[in-house]
Structure 1
Amino acid sequence: MAAPSASCLVGPVPFKDIATAVDDDHSSPPEEYGDVVSDLPSTTALGMVLRQYRGSWVMQERVTGFISLQRRFTPRPGDVLLASPAKCGTTWLKALAFATMVRGAYPPADPQHPLLRMNPHECVPFMDELFTAGQGAGLEALPSPRLMNTHMHHALLPASVTDNPDCKIVFICRDPKDMLVSLWHFLRGVRPCTFADLFDSACEGKTPNGPIWDHLLGYWSASKTSPDNILFLRYEEMLVDPVDHVRKLARFIGQPFSQGDEVAGIPADIVKLYSFDKLKGLAANKAGSYDGKVFNFSHESFFRKGVAGDWVNHMTPEMAQRFDTIIEDRLGGSGLTFK
C-alpha cells in the first residue's frame, strides 16, 4: 500500500496510523557504521553492552541508529522534538503535547480521540528507535508539523536540529533519584537486575544514555542560550500545576490557546482527560506492547505511580546522600539544582 501523501494531511497525526499504511520494507539497521561502533570504548552494565559515543554511554545496539539519525534526519519547519532522560515523565508529556497540538482536529472530549485507542508512544514516534531499526524514512510520511521524541543527549542531536530556529525542543527532567527508581522498575521487566546494581552504575555514569548529569546539563545550558528554541520543564512542577504547563507548552510551540479556548476550558480538559491516572486506566494502556526495537515493553509498564518522592521507599539515607552529592558536584555552578 502506498503511503498517504503528507501534503494531504495536517499534523500531528498518530504515527501508528501512518506507519501501518507505509510499505514495510523490513529494512535492517544501518551496517555501514559497524567499524565506528567496534572502535568505541565499551563497558558492561546491567547485562547490557554500552559504548561510549561522544561522551555518552549508549546501548551498543543503538549506536548505529544515533549515527544514522545525525547524518540522515532532515528537519522541517514546525518540527517539535520532546527530549528527556528515560523515565522522567516522557509518556505523560507525549500525551499532553499531542492532545494540545491536535486539539483542532480532535477536541479533548472527542470520543474518537487517538489517545483513547492507542498508547502515547504509538502516537508520538521515538525517532532513536526508528533509526536504530533502519526505519527512519518512516518519519517522512508524517505530515507537518511533526511531533517526535528522543532520549539522546543534546550534544548528540544533529546540528540541523539544534541550530534550527524553526525547530522546537521541549525537554523534561525530574529528580534524578526518582528517575533512577522508575528506571529500575521499568528495566527489570526485560533486564532483571537489583536496584543496588543500577544505583552503582548510575553513580559511575554508566547507564544507557548516561551520565545523567551530562544529559541534564546539555539541555539546561542550551535552554539558557536559546530559550526561544528549548523549553526546559521539570516533572515535579508539572505535577503541581499541569494546566499552566500545558498553556506554556502551547505558547512555546506557537499554538497558544485562544480566548475562546480558555472560556471553553480546553487547557483544563486536556489535563483532566489525559492525566496520568486517566491514561493508566485506559484499555489501550492496559493491554498490548510497544516494540522498542531492542526490547519490547508492555503498555502497562509505562504507567506505575507517576508521583514525586518515591525514591524514599527504595534508597537508604546513605544512598540518597551519595547520589545527591554526585549530582550536586557535577551540576555545580550551572544554576540547576534538585532541592
Structure 2
Amino acid sequence: MTSSSVSVYLGDEYLTQETKDLLSSLPSEKGWLVSKMYQYEGSWYTKGLIQGVLNCQRNFEAKDSDIILATTPKSGTTWLKALLFALIHRNKFLVSCKHPLLVGNPHSLVPYLEAAYRVSPDVSFSELPSPRLMQTHLTYHSLPVSIKSSSCKIVYCCRNPKDMFVSLWHFGRKLSPEETAEYPIEKVVEAFCEGKFVGGPFWDQVLEYWYESRKNPNKVLFVTYEDLKKQTEVEVKRIAEFIGCGFSADEEVSEIVKLCSFESLSKLEVNRQGKLPNGVESNSYFRKGEIGGWRDTLSEFLAEVIDRTTEEKFEGSGLKFSC
C-alpha cells in the first residue's frame, strides 16, 4: 500500500478549524505508521480519529436497545462483528440462504463509530435495523454519555497483548510498508509497552472495561479472544444471552459459529478482493487468527518485555491472559 492509502484510512483531509485548534493544545508524538499522533483523554489517536471522537461524543444518541462492540485494535473485532451481526439477525437471515455475511465484509455491515463521525457530525444510523449494532475502540470513560447512561449493552473483547501486538505489527506493515520500514520491531515494542500507539495504552483500556464489567455485569460483558477460540459455542451462547437473544434448547449454535469462523470468512471473495471505503484492502483483516501466533514474530526477549509490562499493569486486578 502507498502512503496515499494511509491518508484515506486516517481521514486527515476532513479536519475542521476547531479540531486543528484542539490538536495544537494536545500532547503529540511521532508514531509508528503515522507521522504524528495526539493524546486525548489519556489515549492516542490520529488527527482524523480525534475529530471522529469529538463528533461522536457530542452527537451520538444511544438507544436502550443498542448493542455496542468495544475492542482494543486487532483483538478479534472482525470476528466479533460477524458473530454479533449473525446472532442479532439470525431469525431474519437464515445461514443456509444468501446471508449478508456471505456477500458483505463485517466492517461494512457494522459501522465503526469514530470513523463514521470523522467526516461529519451529522451521521445518521437510522438505516440500521433494530437492535442497532455498532463498534468502537474508545475507552469506557471516553464513550458518549448516552451509551453509559442508557440501558444499551456493551460487549467488550480483548486479546493477549503479545498476539494483539503482532497482529497490529503485520497490519501496519501491510498498510504502509514504506513508512514502517524505518521502525525495527524492538522500537515498536518499546512504544507499545509505553502505551504510545494509536489506540493505546492497551492495559488502561482493558482494565477499565474489566472493572466496569465486574461492577455492572448487566451493562458490560467482558470477553477474551482466547476463551472465544477455545470454547466458541459456549462463549457465543453467553454473548447471545447477554444481548437478549439467547438460544432455545432446540436451537443449534454451530451453524452461526461455522458461518463466522476465520476459515469460512477468510475464503469468501468479498473478504479476499477489493478495498473497504477506508482504503484498506479487505484481506488485511484476515491474517491467521491464531492463539499464540506471536511466537512466529517475537523473540523470547521481546515477549518477556511485554509479559513483564502486563504483569505490572494487571497486578491485583484478578485479570490474566493465557499464552
Report the counterpart of residue 210 of structure 1 in structure 2.
Answer: 200
Report the counterpart of residue 4 of structure 2 in structure 1.
Answer: none
Structure 1 SS opposite 2:280: strand
* Candidates 70, 73, 94, aligned match of 1:86: 73
1:38 aligns with 2:24: yes
* Candidates 130, 138, 159, aligned match of 1:152: 138
Structure 2 SS opposite 1:103: coil
Counterpart AA for 2:66: D
* Candidates 155, 171, 176, aligned match of 1:191: 176
* Candidates 269, 282, 286, aligned match of 2:272: 286
Question: How far apart in 2 are the matches of 1:32 and 1:60?
Answer: 12
Q: How does 1:106-185 map to 2 (within 5 A)?
A: 106-110=93-97, 112-134=98-120, 137-164=123-150, 166-185=151-170
Cα shift at 1:197: 3.2
TM-score (norm 2): 0.90
Task: Tell me if structure 2 keeps the 8 A contact 1:29–1:131.
Answer: no
* Candidates 240, 244, 251, aligned match of 2:241: 251
Question: How far apart in 2 are the matches of 1:31 and 1:118?
Answer: 36
Cα shift at 1:43: 0.5
Question: How far apart in 2 are the matches of 1:270 and 1:115?
Answer: 11
Cα shift at 1:149: 0.3
Counterpart AA for 1:282: L
Q: Deviations over 1:129-155 (max 9, x none)?
A: 001121652323323210010111112
Question: How far apart in 1 are the matches of 2:79 and 2:121?
Answer: 25
Question: How far apart in 2 are the matches of 1:172 and 1:30?
Answer: 32
Counterpart AA for 1:303: F
Task: Tell me if structure 2 keeps the 8 A contact 1:62–1:129.
Answer: yes
Question: How far apart in 2 are the matches of 1:182 and 1:52?
Answer: 23
Question: How far apart in 1 are the matches of 2:127 and 2:30?
Answer: 37
1:334 aligns with 2:320: no
Question: How far apart in 2 are the matches of 1:219 and 1:256?
Answer: 23
Q: How does 1:62-101 map to 2 (within 5 A)?
A: 62-101=49-88
TM-score (norm 1): 0.86
Structure 1 SS opposite 2:73: coil
Question: How far apart in 2 are the matches of 1:302 and 1:282?
Answer: 13
Q: Deviations over 1:170-190 (max 9, x none)?
A: 011110000000001111122
Task: Tell me if structure 2 keeps the 8 A contact 1:331–1:337.
Answer: yes
Question: How far apart in 2 are the matches of 1:136 and 1:328?
Answer: 42
Question: How far apart in 2 are the matches of 1:197 and 1:117?
Answer: 39
Q: Deviations over 1:105-130 (max 9, x none)?
A: 102222x1100001010111111100
Question: How far apart in 1 are the matches of 2:69 and 2:122?
Answer: 17
- Unaligned stretches of 5+ residues in structure 2: 1-12
1:321 aligns with 2:311: no
Aligned residues: 304
Question: How far apart in 2 are the matches of 1:195 and 1:318?
Answer: 12
Task: Tell me if structure 1 keeps the 8 A contact 2:195–2:201.
Answer: yes
Worse-matched range after superposition: 132-141 or 98-107: 132-141
Q: How does 1:259-278 map to 2 (within 5 A)?
A: 259-260=249-250, 262=251, 265=252, 267-278=253-264
Cα shift at 1:274: 2.0
Question: How far apart in 2 are the matches of 1:285 and 1:65?
Answer: 26
Question: How far apart in 2 are the matches of 1:271 and 1:136?
Answer: 36
Question: How far apart in 1 are the matches of 2:211 and 2:54?
Answer: 23
Question: How far apart in 1 are the matches of 2:127 and 2:17?
Answer: 23
Structure 2 SS opposite 1:256: coil
Report the counterpart of residue 51 of structure 1 in structure 2.
Answer: 38
Task: Tell me if structure 2 keeps the 8 A contact 1:37–1:64.
Answer: no
Question: How far apart in 1 are the matches of 2:70 and 2:193?
Answer: 22
Counterpart AA for 1:66: V
Question: How far apart in 1 are the matches of 2:228 and 2:16?
Answer: 38
Give the root-mean-square deviation of aligned CA atoms: 1.6
Task: Tell me if structure 1 keeps the 8 A contact 2:15–2:47.
Answer: no
- Unaligned stretches of 5+ residues in structure 1: 1-26
Structure 2 SS opposite 1:169: strand
Report the counterpart of residue 14 of structure 1 in structure 2.
Answer: none
Structure 1 SS opposite 2:276: strand
